[in-house]
Structure 1
Amino acid sequence: MKSTIHKYKFMKDVALCKILAEQIKLPKVNYDYIVPIPSPIERDKARTFNPVTTVLDYKQIQYETLLSTQLRPRQSAMGKRMRSQVDHLFEIPSSIDLENKFILLVDDIYTTGITVHNAAKSLFVRKIRKFDVFTFAR
């Protein structure tokens, strides 16, 4: 799986989206929002696709891009200690009411949990009720 995700994201083999999509099964729970963890827009442009939303689109799963982020160092190039020191700020439009909402965060890979932790911090400030996390691989 590590090799597949590496080829998909870093070697820009977008066709692997089909294989990933066929392997994943999202929880059968009614969420208010399914929210992909974003990558910086500069990375998506360079790659020509977003690794998470491309899979969700292929599976025809409705999602909301509530979170946005700025360009930061690649996590794959950092050790665990350095990752914990990098601030991953996620922004959410203030016009979206998330109070008491149940959210599913979707990301491609769960390594240290720092990305999810930082996304959760942004969501809990908005008084969400609960969130679950789904990743393609760990």
Structure 2
Amino acid sequence: MNHCLLCEQPIAAFPTWSGLLGIEHKKDICDDCSKNFQHADIIDDDPLFDRITSIYTYNDAMREYLHQYKFLQDIALAGVFANELRAVLKGKATVVPIPMHPEKKIERTFAHVDELLKRAGIPFTHLLEKVDTAVMGEKSKEERLAMRPLFTIKPGTSIGPGPYILVDDIFTTGTTLRHAATVLREAGATQVEAVTLIRAEPSH
């Protein structure tokens, strides 16, 4: 029997035609834990983007999930929201994960956005390289505005008009995504969207 990755309780499984045909994706968390996550379904207007979509809000349940996944390095949790990400990202656009700085990747042991996409079965392409180890949540608004570019185009990469979808785990101020979108547009992209798993309100 499958067990919930969050509360470790057994997940009841019932026979379905999808399961028998092998096209049903198994659940990683139980219904009780699923109810604790609040859908955001936020779509923003921003001049740098054709569309920005956030799937969940940053409530207590999401805070605990993100801490366990990213900071306690529980990579098994990468598949918890695979179905939701798959539903939003399916299509013909080039999916571009926000990259980690190499030093940060060594510290975290895995690229968390890459793993979310892998578990969702979403093909992706690394077009950007991060050139700054800065953490946006630790900077003031003035410091964020004064920052040098966070990203550069990966050497040997050719950027066409698009469409491109930037993917990150959390949207707080939007600084990271705007830096990435700016680099893509300056390199020739004319259609850039963004998708984040989580939307958080910036702290002041």
TM-score (norm 1): 0.87
| Rg (Cα) greater in structure | 2
* SS of alignment partner, residue 193 of structure 2: strand
- Alignment correspondent of 2:191: 130
1:52 maps to which residue?
Answer: 113
Partner deviation per Cα, 1:25-71 (whole Å, 9 max, x = no partner): 3244321x110001111111111111100111111211001111124
Question: Counterparts of 1:92 and 1:65 in 2: how far apart (Å)?
Answer: 9
Question: Counterparts in 2 of 1:1-138, with a 5 A limit?
Answer: 1-24=62-85, 25-31=87-93, 33-138=94-199
Is the contact made by 1:98 and 1:128 (CA closer than 8 Å) also made in structure 2? yes
Aligned length: 137
Q: How has the CA–CA distance of structure 1 residues 39 and 88 changed in structure 2, closer, same or farther, with 3 Å as cutoff?
A: farther
5+ residue gaps in structure 1? none
Distance (whole Å) between structure 2 residues aligned to residue 65 and residue 47 of structure 1: 18
Q: Distance in 2 between matches of 1:130 and 1:58?
A: 26
Question: Higher relative contact order at CA 8 Å, sep ≥6: structure 1 or structure 2?
Answer: 1
Query: Which consecutive residues of structure 2, in runs of 5 or more, have no partner in the other structure?
Result: 1-61, 200-204
Amino acid in the other structure paired with 1:26: V
CA distance in 2, matches of 1:59, 1:99: 25
CA distance in 1, matches of 2:149, 2:66: 21
Closer, same or farther in 2 for the Cα pair 1:81/1:2, shift >3 Å? farther
C-alpha separation between the residues in 2 aligned to 1:22 and 1:5?
17
Structure 1 counterpart SS, 2:75 = coil
Further displaced range: 68-77 or 8-17: 68-77
| Mapped contact 1:91–1:122 kept (Cα < 8 A) | yes
**Aligned with 1:96: secondary structure?**
coil
SS of the counterpart of 2:88? coil
